[in-house]
Amino acid sequence: MEVKYFDSVTNNEKVVDMTPEDAKKYEDRLKHNRIFAEAFGNALRKFAEHPERIDNFESYLSHHFDVWYKRYANGMENMVYEFEHFAEIE
């Protein structure tokens, strides 16, 4: 089965042969990425609307960055959740 994908390194669309199982995994991964990319973008937009919240996040990280990184920056779900959380804090 031929699958088209965009190669961000070469900025070209490529076509590769994949088994149907691998093609499904690839499509599932893309869907997963799109969901979290949108959520991350929304959190950044919220930060842009409220720059003072960035200061709050920065202050928090200045005391806990090492722990925060190990706990929350180890996966898309955790990182997006944290950005959403801090973008909402008033």
One pLDDT digit (tens) per residue for the chain, 90 residues: 777 777 777 888 888 888 888 888 888 888 998 999 999 999 999 999 999 999 999 999 999 999 998 888 888 888 899 889 889 988
Under a CB-based contact definition with an 8 Å cutoff, are residues 84 and 39 in contact?
yes
CA 78 to chain centre: 9
Distance CA 79, CA 31 (A): 17
Tokens of 38: 């949108």
What is the gyration radius of the CA atoms in the chain, in angstroms?
A: 18
Amino acid 16: pLDDT: 80
Amino acid 12: pLDDT: 81
- Residue ranges covered by each domain of the chain: 2-88
Phi and psi at residue 61, to the nearest 5°: -65, -30
pTM, whole model, 2 decimals?
A: 0.72
Amino acid 38: pLDDT: 93
